[in-house]
């Protein structure tokens, strides 16, 4: 018996709390047998870490929602995309350094690393990389990959990519790296930074912020490769410098749909092998570092194929014809009847779950026109009682929104306000909007014409219909309202440049408490204070008014503690209270219900009613096709 196998058996024995698993050997997908026999690929015991990560019931998805089954090897997972952004796939490619079940970060355990500890005040974090962990090209992962990230990437003034937020303490100071040996390293901060642990367990930030394949990226760094040797590729990519080429070749999990990601070493379960205008293909990573409790190397599924289509209707046709094995983000409630009617024909089940997303929200930009003297909008936003914003919230008929757009399937928990147009009208009268123009719309408090503009784009199929319905609700209380629809690129440009009065977008509210997502920030999914946020980041902008500064103070204080620690939960409650009292984002409905299409042949799928969709970030590598 090999030393590696003995270590694995002991590890599984501990993980199963006394239940000993006597695996005869590690197992691999049969698709790899020929490569091993020909010598093109090392045997399975030489491809796994000395201590592989063991997956079982409750490891990645809470036991309440999934009774983990030992899967079967083989098959191709068929997906579909209308814009090359396949949430079912790219969420699944998010691979955190630490892990906790589901969309939580509480008391995370080692994942990519085999050991992890921190000091009492969260200023020093120590890690040990799994010995024998390998990149997808077979090269061992060591502290050189971490050193390269810190010293040759983030700290190099010639490289545009600077230290990311997850590596900066609450005052913006970057962590300091101490390499101990080939596998051990420490990251030290100058002040308390428990949030670092939270980010280590998030699939959004994932391992690529800390581990970069040095052996690969050194080809594109002038300290290791002469620029003249890179020049042909710099020109071919249409770039102007070696540092731009380096940045291009540094692949995070959101970029695995790009042709330039092919060939880049990864730690994900699959790696890209073909990306063109019609299809994206991925094949199993033979060096993937997870196994089940019987020693079977994950993933169970060999290949992934993503068909690219040009419209939502094409997605629906592929679903009902049985050409899609898994669909979550692009499945819509208004097609539920179509999905259900064709389940037998398409060999799938349609199940309803919660979501990691909020419904689309209406954002009110606190910084709009802040540089304009006598700005009516600024007077309305800085009203301590927030009466204009409250009036908008009271104008929204959530029951109408729910029935008209979401087929009555969304809940009411978390609504900004209960529909009360009469109360809304009284609030508007209190702030001086009690006079009307010739068309029956309210004038501004100073007697000038007033128009509320909602800027939207097709981020999701429900956003434009929602904006039209909200226009009707808001005009019902006498406020002239315009929906300004634009292309997605222009929307983002204007979003970041403080050009919106109001806007609509969705964000990841259900995973804010765990710290996995922070897209409540003022200039991301919703533009509600982009100039003040620039100031917070030290990029100029606007000195925040006192009420906005309170938000930044709470946000900064949150960074001292892990998100789901006792103190972290207390600070998140303060953050929620701030949002409740300041009306910067309005919830037209709440409690998202998501339809999901799942092939009847797929196993290890979370149960209906699961809070976070299908939990693809934690679950995709354990899916399998039942024979």
pLDDT tens, 524-553? 888 999 999 999 999 999 999 999 999 999
Output the CA torsion 518→520→521→524 (10° steps).
Answer: 100
Q: What is the largest CA-CA distance in the chain?
A: 89
Give me the phi and psi of 283, to 5 degrees please: -125, 160
The total number of residues written for the chain in this structure: 627
Task: Compute the average pLDDT of residues 474-498.
Answer: 95
Smallest Cα–Cα separation from 77: which of 619, 620, 627? 620
Q: Which helix (H) or strand (E) holds 266?
A: none
Q: Which two tokens stand for residue 379?
A: 């007077």
SS3 at position 595: strand
pLDDT band for position 253 (cuts 50, 70, 90): confident
Sorted by where each begins, the domain ranges of the chain are 361-586
Task: Compute the average pLDDT of residues 295-320.
Answer: 93
Token pair 């969709």 is at which residue? 613
pLDDT tens-place string over residues 171-217: 899 999 999 999 999 999 999 999 999 999 988 888 999 999 999 99
Task: Compute the average pLDDT of residues 503-527.
Answer: 88
Task: Compute the average pLDDT of residues 511-529.
Answer: 89
Please tell me which residue, 308 or 425, carries the higher pLDDT value: 425
CA R_g for the chain: 26
Q: Return d(Cα 240, Cα 232) in angstroms, integer.
A: 11
**CATH, domain range 361-586:** 3.10.105.10
| CA distances from residue 156 to 91, 149, 151, 160, 211 in whole angstroms, order as listed | 30, 10, 6, 8, 16
pLDDT tens-place string over residues 102-136: 888 899 999 999 999 999 999 999 999 999 999 99
Q: Which two tokens stand for residue 605?
A: 């799928």
In percent, the amount of the chain with pLDDT more than 70 equals: 95
Q: Return d(Cα 250, Cα 214) in angstroms, integer.
A: 10
**pLDDT for residue 3:** 46
Smallest Cα–Cα separation from 199: which of 185, 209, 188? 209
- Provide CB contacts within 8 A for 290, sequence distance 6+: 52, 53, 54, 55, 269, 297, 298, 621
Could you give the count of Cα atoms lying within 13 Å of 389 in the half-sphere of its Cβ? 28
Smallest Cα–Cα separation from 606: which of 55, 12, 16, 57? 57
**pLDDT for residue 16:** 37
- Indicate the pairing of strand 585-586 with strand 361-364: antiparallel
Task: Compute the average pLDDT of residues 577-590.
Answer: 94
330 close to 616: Cβ distance less than 8 angstroms = no
Q: Return d(Cα 42, Cα 138) in angstroms, integer.
A: 9
| C-beta contacts of 414-423 below 8 A and 24+ residues apart | 414/509, 414/587, 414/590, 414/591, 415/587, 415/589, 415/590, 416/583, 416/585, 416/586, 416/587, 417/390, 417/393, 417/586, 418/394, 419/394, 419/395, 420/394, 421/394, 421/395, 421/476, 421/477, 423/394
Q: Which helix (H) or strand (E) holds 318?
A: helix 312-320
Q: Which two tokens stand for residue 74?
A: 């083989």
Give me the phi and psi of 339, to 5 degrees please: -60, -50
Q: Return d(Cα 267, Cα 37) in angstroms, integer.
A: 24
Token pair 């990311």 is at which residue? 164
Render 487-539 in DSSP notation, one character per residue.
-HHHHHHHHHTT--SEEEE---GGGTTTTS--TTSTBSSSBSSHHHHHHHTTS
DSSP 290: E
pLDDT band for position 87 (cuts 50, 70, 90): low
- Provide CB contacts within 8 A for 442, sequence distance 6+: 428, 433, 434, 435, 436, 450, 478, 479, 480
Peptide bond into 600 cis (omega under 30): no
Give me the phi and psi of 215, to 5 degrees please: -60, -30
Q: What is the sign of the dihedral through the CA atoms of 349, 353, 358 and 361?
A: positive
Please tell me which residue, 101 or 366, carries the higher pLDDT value: 366
pLDDT tens-place string over residues 131-164: 999 999 999 999 999 999 999 999 999 998 889 9
204 close to 517: Cβ distance less than 8 angstroms = yes
- Indicate the pairing of strand 290-292 with strand 53-55: parallel
Smallest Cα–Cα separation from 605: which of 584, 587, 619, 589? 619
Q: Across-strand partners of 481?
A: 452
| CA distances from residue 330 to 79, 94, 334, 595 in whole angstroms, order as listed | 11, 19, 11, 9
Q: Which two tokens stand for residue 567?
A: 């103190």
Q: How many CB atoms lie within 10 A of CB 94?
A: 22
Token pair 């128009």 is at which residue? 451
Q: Which two tokens stand for residue 623?
A: 């899916």
Q: Return d(Cα 27, Cα 440) in angstroms, integer.
A: 74
pLDDT band for position 413 (cuts 50, 70, 90): low
Q: Return d(Cα 484, Cα 501) in angstroms, integer.
A: 11
**pLDDT for residue 12:** 42
Say yes or no to pLDDT of 11 above 90. no
pLDDT band for position 23 (cuts 50, 70, 90): very low
Say yes or no to pLDDT of 10 above 90. no
């Amino acid at each position: 018996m090999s030393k590696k196998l003995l270590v694995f058996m002991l590890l599984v024995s501990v993980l199963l709390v006394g239940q000993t698993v006597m695996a005869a050997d590690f197992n691999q997908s049969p698709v790899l047998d020929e490569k091993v026999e020909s010598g093109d690929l090392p045997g399975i015991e030489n491809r796994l870490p000395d201590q592989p990560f063991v997956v079982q019931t409750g490891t990645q998805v809470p036991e309440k929602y999934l009774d983990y089954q030992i899967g079967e090897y083989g098959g191709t997972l068929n997906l579909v995309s209308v814009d090359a952004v396949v949430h079912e796939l790219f969420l699944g490619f998010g691979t955190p350094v630490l892990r906790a079940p589901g969309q939580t970060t509480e008391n995370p355990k080692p994942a990519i690393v085999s050991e992890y500890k921190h000091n009492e005040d969260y200023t020093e974090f120590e890690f040990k990389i799994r010995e024998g962990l390998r990149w997808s090209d077979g090269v061992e992962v060591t502290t050189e990959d971490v050193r390269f990230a810190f010293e040759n990437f983030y700290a190099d003034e010639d490289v545009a990519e600077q230290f990311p937020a997850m590596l900066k303490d609450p005052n913006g100071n970057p962590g300091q790296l101490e390499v101990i040996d080939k596998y051990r390293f420490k990251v030290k901060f100058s002040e308390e930074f428990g949030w670092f642990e939270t980010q280590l367990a998030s699939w959004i930030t994932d391992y690529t912020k800390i581990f970069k394949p040095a052996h690969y990226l050194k080809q594109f760094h002038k300290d290791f490769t002469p620029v003249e040797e890179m020049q042909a590729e710099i020109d071919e990519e249409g770039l102007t410098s070696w540092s731009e080429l380096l940045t291009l070749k540094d692949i995070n999990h959101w970029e695995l749909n790009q042709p330039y990601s092919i060939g880049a070493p990864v730690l994900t379960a699959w790696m890209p092998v073909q990306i063109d205008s019609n299809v994206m293909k991925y094949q199993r990573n033979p060096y993937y570092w997870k196994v089940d409790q019987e020693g079977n190397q994950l993933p169970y599924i060999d290949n992934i194929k993503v068909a690219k289509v040009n419209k939502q209707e094409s997605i629906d046709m592929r679903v009902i014809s049985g050409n899609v094995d898994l669909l979550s983000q692009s499945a819509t409630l208004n097609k539920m009847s179509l999905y259900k009617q064709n389940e037998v024909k398409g060999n799938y089940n349609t199940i309803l779950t919660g979501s990691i997303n909020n419904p689309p929200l209406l954002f009110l930009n606190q910084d709009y026109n802040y540089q304009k003297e006598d700005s009516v909008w600024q007077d309305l936003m800085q009203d301590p009682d927030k009466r204009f914003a409250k009036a908008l919230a009271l104008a929204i008929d959530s029951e109408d929104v729910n029935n008209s757009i979401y087929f009555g399937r969304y809940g009411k928990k978390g609504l900004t306000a209960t529909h009360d147009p009469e109360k809304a009208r009284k609030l508007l009268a209190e702030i001086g909007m009690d006079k009307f123009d010739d068309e029956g719309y309210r004038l501004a408090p100073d007697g000038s014409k007033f128009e509320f503009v909602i800027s939207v784009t097709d981020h999701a199929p429900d956003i434009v219909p929602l904006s039209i319905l909200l226009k009707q609700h808001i005009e019902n209380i006498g406020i002239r309202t315009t929906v300004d629809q634009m292309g997605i690129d222009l929307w983002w440009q204007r979003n970041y440049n403080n050009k919106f009065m109001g806007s609509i977008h969705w964000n990841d509210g259900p995973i804010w408490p765990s710290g996995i997502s922070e897209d409540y920030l003022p200039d991301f999914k919703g533009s509600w204070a982009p100039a003040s946020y620039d100031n917070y980041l030290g990029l100029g902008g606007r000195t925040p008014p006192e009420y906005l500064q309170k938000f930044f103070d709470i946000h900064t204080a949150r960074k001292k503690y892990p998100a789901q620690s006792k103190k972290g939960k207390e600070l998140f409650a303060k953050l929620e209270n701030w949002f409740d009292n300041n009306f910067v984002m309005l919830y037209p409905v709440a409690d998202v219900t998501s339809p999901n299409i799942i092939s009847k042949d797929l196993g290890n799928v979370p149960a209906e009613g699961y809070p976070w969709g299908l939990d693809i970030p934690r679950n995709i590598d354990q899916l399998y096709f039942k024979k």
